[in-house]
Amino acid sequence: MKFMGDHKVGTREEYRAARDELLEQEKELTRAGDELAKRRRELPWVPIEKDYEFDTDTGRRTLAQLFDGRSQLLVYHFMFGPQYTAGCPVCSSGADTYNGAVPHLNARDATFLCVSRAPLERLRAYKQRMEWSFPWVSAARSDFNLDFGATHTDDELRQFLESDDLGPVPGLAAQCGTDPAGYLAEGPVFNSFAISDGVVYHTYSTGARGLEFLMGFYGILDRAPIGRNEGDLSEMWIRRHDEYASP
């Protein structure tokens, strides 16, 4: 990839003046982010009244048991459905970021894990291939993903699948060993939970571009000279880390 296009060239003094002006805007954004974080923490908690069970490396576990003795549970719904032969490449790119964050989250009384609908043995094999260590559980036996917005029904998908523009979906589906319907049946979602006096509460949820905080490379690229440089998003550039061609 070559650096293309014209760009303004100036003196160090011109750069400093423009940078100082931008810095004020960056500080405003930081303060706005702090306020949003506070408002997230102030959302009402919703008690979970349904029983959920998961297949884990240590056997069947309830939602409450997934907290692993901590008071907070952070769950990323990783797109790896029953029909998949490999995890979603985009979800996989984010995993490279948060995989190393788990010990730091645990130190702040937060358990982090991923959940998918694929069988546990398939998740284990893919996790070994990608050399990750974060906890990953299977919700194949429960409605957990459906109830928390990470599974989509045929009716929900029909209009999009019957359209003429599926964008990068067919290619992504093929990379996961499934078809567009099977691929889109799964959705990436981040959910937070708390437990108090034995009661589990749902406290926060986000999806779509709200998940970019999990993809640390985007924040780095946003500070590079040509930014994300993604161009036509119908051509998804993101790959699993062991699939990029050597430069």
Task: Give the C-alpha separation, 20 to 17, whole Å.
Answer: 5
Task: Give the C-alpha separation, 205 to 197, whole Å.
Answer: 22
The tokens describing 179, both together, are 């078809």
Average pLDDT over residues 213-228: 92
The tokens describing 137, both together, are 């559980």
pLDDT tens, 16-61?
Answer: 999 999 999 999 999 999 999 999 999 999 999 999 999 999 999 9
Per-residue CA distances from 43 to 30, 109, 193, 210, 240 (Å)? 20, 19, 12, 16, 35
Q: How many CA atoms lie within 13 A of 84 on its CB side?
A: 27
Structural domains of the chain, with CATH: 46-221 (3.40.30.10)
Contact criterion met (CB below 8 Å) for 112 and 185? no
pLDDT of res. 1: 46
Task: Give the C-alpha separation, 149 to 186, whole Å.
Answer: 9
pLDDT > 90? residue 139: yes
Q: Could you tell me what percent of the chain has a pLDDT over 70?
A: 96
pLDDT tens, 148-194?
Answer: 999 999 999 999 999 988 999 999 999 999 999 999 999 999 999 99
Query: Helices marked H in the chain — which ranges?
Result: 12-41, 63-66, 89-98, 102-107, 120-130, 144-147, 154-161, 169-175, 180-184, 216-221
Q: What is the pTM of this model?
A: 0.92
List phi, psi (to 5°) of 243: -120, -5
Query: What letter does residue 101 receive in the DSSP assignment?
Result: G
DSSP string, 149-195: T-B--HHHHHHHHTSS--TTHHHHHHHTTS-HHHHHTB--EEEEEEE
Residues in the chain: 247
Kind and range of the H or E run holding 199:
strand 199-207
Average pLDDT over residues 227-247: 82
3-state DSSP helix/strand/coil % of the chain, to nearest 5: 40, 20, 40
Residue type, 47: P
